[in-house]
Amino acid sequence: MTLPIEQLQEQGREDTHDHAHRARRPQAVSRNIKDRTLAELAEWFATQGEPPFRARQVFQWLYQRGATDFEQMTNLAKPLRRLLAEHFELGALGRARVLRSADGSLKYAFALADGREVESVLMPNATHHTLCVSTQVGCAMGCDFCMTGRMGLVRNLTPGEIVGQVVEAARDVDEGKFIRNVVFMGMGEPLHNYRALVKAIDILREDMGFGFSARRVTVSTSGLVPQLRWFAQDRVRAQLAISLNATTDAVRSRLMPVNRRWNIAALLEACREFPVEHRSRITFEYILIQGVTDDLADARRLVKLLHGLKCKVNLIPFNATPDSAYQAPPLEHVQAFQQALLERGLLATVRLSKGQDIQAACGQLVVGERRRPLPGRHPAT
């Protein structure tokens, strides 16, 4: 269910006061081997009297060779393979549905062990692919323009369920190509599932596994300010994208309830404190909704708001969602908005979403029958 904004406030307060508690909170022991970081797996091997390099071997099997059975791990002795199978499961995700778009992108609905589903989108390019992954079933943030938001939060994904989406999609990539980028822009608010997110990134970046570089992993957030600070303090090696989507608190609060807790000024202050690595920038995603966010005065305000930040803007024309009263502006207006930013020295690109014909574009991911009735809200004109 969607968290009422008061509960989000509670969570924010608790989290800021006890920064360390997130590391201390005891975790349920999981049988999914993909929930373990390399260090955790090496620790487990140590308890079995095995050297740490066993964990590296297992990582290679899981993430470089896509093992589907412990028996395939032939550089481990038979008794060790049996021991692994007794303690762990491979945590394979089921393929509930796979849809192919006319533009070549694939939308997966993956079945989780408890029967829930999440979606991932694989977007091909001439030489490489980008995979958009989910971090939660549903989302608590309730953004007005987003289908996932209408589901409410069903549950968090575990690190293994996040990483598992990459493992499964990688099976469909042609020989000679590879998934170069992972973007946390699927279902859910990544920073609302902070610990699992950080672990998943740790696993994905591991050289013995997929070996994603920090430049190739992007986390997109609606703006949970305390978690954004943890992300900086913990030096998580990933690119940051912020769904800004509006230039005034009045409009942003209407579109994104999270803004009622952490407004634009608070969010941008956290962004200014964020350590942006050499040669990298924060991406600000900005949804263009006709008559709501696309005024040229918004473009001018955006330039002012982002002044001095090492950043770029990614303009996303609104993708249609069923029964929504919102519309994307015409393409010429999108270009005029982009031009207004460029003229003022703000780097801006337009994201023409892929997979619209299969409802795989930004904001269109929703699974199952848990759709909430539409809120009675209408965009102000």
Residue numbers of the site for ligand SAH (CB under 6 A)? 145-146, 185, 189, 220-222, 243, 245, 285, 287, 316, 318-319, 321, 362-363
Q: From the CB of 38, what's the least distance to ligand SF4, in Å?
A: 29
Q: From the CB of 147, what's the least distance to ligand SAH, in Å?
A: 7
Of the candidates 287, 291, 241, the residue with the CA atom closest to the CA atom of residue 145: 287
Chain centroid to Cα 24, Å, comes to: 24
Using CB under 6 A, count the residues that bind ligand SF4. Answer: 11
Catalytic site includes residue 311? no
**Interface residue with ligand SF4, options 32, 101, 135, 148 (CB under 6 A):** 148
Q: Which stretch binds ligand SF4 (CB under 6 A): 119-127, 138-146, 211-219, 344-352?
A: 138-146
Q: Are residues 100 and 108 in contact, defined by beta-carbon separation less than 8 angstroms?
A: no
Residue with token string 């308890």: 47
Q: In this structure, what token pair is assigned to residue 49? A: 């009297």
Q: From the CB of 147, what's the least distance to ligand SF4, in Å?
A: 8
Long-range Cβ contacts of 301-304 (<8 Å, 24+ apart): 301/247, 301/248, 302/244, 302/247, 302/341, 302/346, 303/341, 303/344, 303/345, 303/346
321 binds, among ligand SF4, ligand SAH, none (CB under 5 to 8 A by kind): ligand SAH
Q: Which single residue brings its beta carbon nearest to ligand SF4?
A: 149
In this structure, the strands spanning 217-221 and 239-243 are parallel
Catalytic site includes residue 143? no
Q: Which of 139, 175, 362, 369 is catalytic?
A: 362
**Interface residue with ligand SF4, options 124, 149, 152, 355 (CB under 6 A):** 149
Q: Which single residue brings its beta carbon nearest to ligand SAH?
A: 363
- With a CB cutoff of 8 Å and minimum separation 6, the contacts of 172 are 106, 122
Q: In this structure, what token pair is assigned to residue 191? A: 């920073």
Q: Which residues bind ligand SF4 (CB under 6 A)?
A: 139, 141-143, 146, 148-149, 188-189, 222, 243
Catalytic residue list = 119, 362
